Structure 1
Amino acid sequence: MNAAGHVWRWAALIALVIIADQLTKWAVLETPAFNALACLDPSIRCGRIELSSVFDLTMLWNRGISFGTFQSSGIMRWILVLVTTGIAIGFAYWLMRAERWFTALSLSLVIGGAVGNLIDRVRFGAVVDFLDFSGPWFGTYIGGVAVGFPWVFNIADAAITVGALLLFLDQFLMSRSKPDERNPA
């Protein structure tokens, strides 16, 4: 049986990503220290909870896409909604025809993350980001090279990134393996 034959397994993974993403975002939105709904107004600063020298919870509204690129509002918000919906539908179609479990796993992570962020964009016009690993290194240069991780992200972003990396590995490295090694299921 091919990977698509396990459709409920992949649907469950997609649902798990969406639920984990939305529950963590709900917790952020309900935490008074973040001032989340008020700071939808760009003139009002969102809150931050310092947890360690490496990791903080920093509430940001991302009006763009991955890592804050293509910041938009107004009609661009709805264009992003349509594009994201189209990509998710296209990936779901691909998922239903996937022959390798690794392909299905990768697509499920991307779809779950895309839908998680899509929910925010429709509800608020922006995506809730809060995981901040910038640590003390952000803005530091060693040998002329910037170090640190300046982006604030969420569970959906992590799922999309991991899924995309796995999909890249699957399509460009694993697709060369023998057919019987591709699908352990």
Structure 2
Amino acid sequence: MKNALKYVLVLLLIILADQGSKLWVYGHMELGPNGHIKLFGNLFKLTYVLNYGMAFGIQLGFKYGKLCITLVRIAASMYIALHIIRAVARSAPRMWIWGWILVLGGAIGNGIDSVLYGVYLDNAPFDAPMKWFHGQVIDMIHLDFWSGIMPSWVPIWGGQEACVLPIFNIADVSIFLGLLFIFCYCKQVDAYEKKHKVPDMVV
């Protein structure tokens, strides 16, 4: 029970940190590259941008594509939460559980943007079929190793202004670190499964 409480508290901290940073950016920064705030020269700065699609701005090219993305985020978050509950009940390796906590916190953070921001921050695109479930995710962490106009032959981003690393947010960082944890501790989980004969521990 004590460990379960720790997981819940860290999960809430991730969500609060993510949402707090996004709302601060929304209230204090100008949208677009001209309103950036330099933290470490041009290399590390805050740039307020909106992402209507998935990771790297990838979108589904039909009217209700965003709705599908949002519903998948919700379903994935629910499944991961159930998976974590089962893993905690079975006393699975802690670092592996922490990895899934990080992934869940990031998924919920970006899911909140998709579900609510179109209504409460009015940031759904003008041509969106509805505001609910069509909110745009707020990104701001900008590691600017290189930026410029992509060649026209590059799929999806050809002819558009882009940078080497996409602009991201705390939720994205949490998901990345969580997946890294999960990958690093897969062998521990395999050993746990063999020892305790649990065939369906890993998703």
TM-score band, normalised by shorter chain: 0.7 to 0.9
Aligned counterpart for 1:133 among listed residues 128, 143, 154: 143
Aligned counterpart for 1:175 among listed residues 183, 186, 189: 189
Q: Which has the higher contact order (CA 8 A, sep 6+)?
A: 1
Tell me, in whole angstroms, the C-alpha distance in 1 between the residues paired with 2:60 and 2:27.
25
Paired positions, count: 158
Aligned counterpart for 2:35 among listed residues 47, 51, 58: 47
Q: Counterpart amino acid of 2:81?
A: A
Give the 3 Å change call, closer, same or farther, for CA 73–9 of structure 1 in structure 2: farther
Write the deviation string for residues 28-77 of structure 1: whole angstroms up to 9, x where unpaired: 0011x424xxx7xxxxx773223313111111101111222236685222
Name the structure 1 match of 2:65: 76
Unaligned runs of 5+ in 2: 119-134, 149-162, 196-203
Unaligned runs of 5+ in 1: 40-44, 140-147, 180-185
2:93–2:188 contact (8 Å) kept in structure 1: no
Name the structure 2 match of 1:42: none
- For the pair 1:58 / 2:47, whether they are aligned, the reply is yes
Aligned counterpart for 1:105 among listed residues 72, 95, 98: 98
Name the structure 1 match of 2:175: 160
The Cα RMSD (Å) is 2.6
Question: TM-score scaled by structure 2?
Answer: 0.69
Name the structure 1 match of 2:6: 9
Q: CA deviation at 1:150?
A: 2.3
Higher helix share: 1
Question: TM-score scaled by structure 1?
Answer: 0.75
Give the 3 Å change call, closer, same or farther, for CA 164–80 of structure 1 in structure 2: same
Write the deviation string for residues 97-151 of structure 1: whole angstroms up to 9, x where unpaired: 211111210111011111110111112311000000023x446xxxxxxxx8421
4+ residue segments displaced more than 3 Å: 71-74, 176-179
Q: CA deviation at 1:153?
A: 0.2
- For the pair 1:34 / 2:22, whether they are aligned, the reply is no
Tell me, in whole angstroms, the C-alpha distance in 2 between the residues paired with 1:30 and 1:101.
38
Tell me, in whole angstroms, the C-alpha distance in 1 between the residues paired with 2:61 and 2:176.
21
Q: CA deviation at 1:6?
A: 2.1
